[in-house]
Amino acid sequence: MKVVLQNLTKKFPGRGKKSEDVVAVDNFNFEIPDGKLVGLLGPSGCGKSTTLNLLCGLLKPTSGKVFFGEDDVTDLPAENRGVGMVFQNYALYPHLTVRQNIIFPLQNLKGKDKMSKEEMGKKALEVAKLVQIDELMDRKPKELSGGQQQRVAIARALVKRPRVLLLDEPLSNLDARLRLQTREEIRRIQRETGITTVFVTHDQEEAMSISDMIVVMRAGVVQQIGKPQNVYDDPVNLFVAKFLGTPPINVFYGRIKDGGLYIGDGKIADAAGVPDQDVYAAVRPEGFILDDNGPLCCGLSRVEIMGRDISVVSTHDSAENPVIRSIISSESNVNTQSPEVRFSVKPNKLFVFSGQTEDRIRIN
């Protein structure tokens, strides 16, 4: 089932009499292809959860439309949409057992979809097996670990074969190790069921690792949509560049002058045909090459050896942050005694953004 968002806008009335409406989602256009896993990504308050609530019908859009396949479901209440949703805190009913929790959505089916008790039991067991909790069916939620609760929540969302599966920060309540494991699990379940899935997260690593596509949002406005690698390799603005990647991208205050990009006094790259202006020059940590004759001269703070790679921590007067973190192969030799270190920059890991609009300036 493909999902289409058409000019979707949601405004909330502002607090106080004179304050203006808060635009939580602004003119969102997107077509989610059938069977894909899409990550909605952005810092808190960017409108990603609102978007999710618009999709499941808990909120009504101020304007714009939502389609499931060819059906316009914009005004359809949540209970009739046939979506499955996993809430951030799972919202498992504490007084019901795992089995009763999973069966709950089935009991609400009406008309020709109505099921007998045995059918419900069978379905519940099927989906419990899929998420591997079939041995916990008679426990109550509080007797389960966080990861198990998460699986029950997913099972409950999946049991009625939803047209769309929605996950709201599904991993935020898990510890680091479980998070890694569970995100693979979500990926596997999504592949096996083939249900179009949208999930919301503020953790870019999470989104990058399992999504077919990611949507980066900021203050209600969609910044960029694409395959994770494409967005990482080709960010459209400074915000997206900064938001994706760990360690984060290194941003320098630079300028374009006479067809060259300068950071400090060093000419980092050619920028033929670009008018002179102040810019941000951003370099991915893996974009630095140790080069004794390189144009970028930084003060060396320390070198951290991390097995396969080494991380060179340095400083530069024009850098936005106090430290610059570069990751280079551990086979390189860094003279740790030297007070400074020189780099050249890989062109495909260097992005230039306008100093005014922060939009991307393409220099090659």
Interface residue list for other proteins (CB under 8 A): 56-58, 71-73, 75-85, 87-89, 91, 93-96, 104-105, 107-109, 156-157, 160
In the complex, minimum distance from the CB of residue 128 to other proteins, in angstroms, rounded to a whole number: 16
Q: How many residues does the chain have?
A: 364
Complex with other proteins: residue 86 or 281, whichever CB lies closer: 86
- CA dist 62 and 173 (Å) reads 31
Complex with other proteins: residue 58 or 125, whichever CB lies closer: 58
- CA dist 215 and 42 (Å) reads 8
Complex with other proteins: residue 69 or 194, whichever CB lies closer: 69
Complex with other proteins: residue 42 or 105, whichever CB lies closer: 105
- CA dist 306 and 288 (Å) reads 17
Complex with other proteins: residue 107 or 181, whichever CB lies closer: 107
- CA dist 94 and 103 (Å) reads 14
List of residues 6+ apart from 322 with CB closer than 8 A: 315
Angle at 75 between CA 160 and CA 194, to 5 degrees: 35
- CA dist 255 and 352 (Å) reads 9
In the complex, minimum distance from the CB of residue 255 to other proteins, in angstroms, rounded to a whole number: 50
In the complex, minimum distance from the CB of residue 105 to other proteins, in angstroms, rounded to a whole number: 4
In the complex, minimum distance from the CB of residue 43 to other proteins, in angstroms, rounded to a whole number: 22
Angle at 118 between CA 113 and CA 122, to 5 degrees: 85
115 phi and psi, to 5 degrees? -120, 155
In the complex, minimum distance from the CB of residue 94 to other proteins, in angstroms, rounded to a whole number: 7
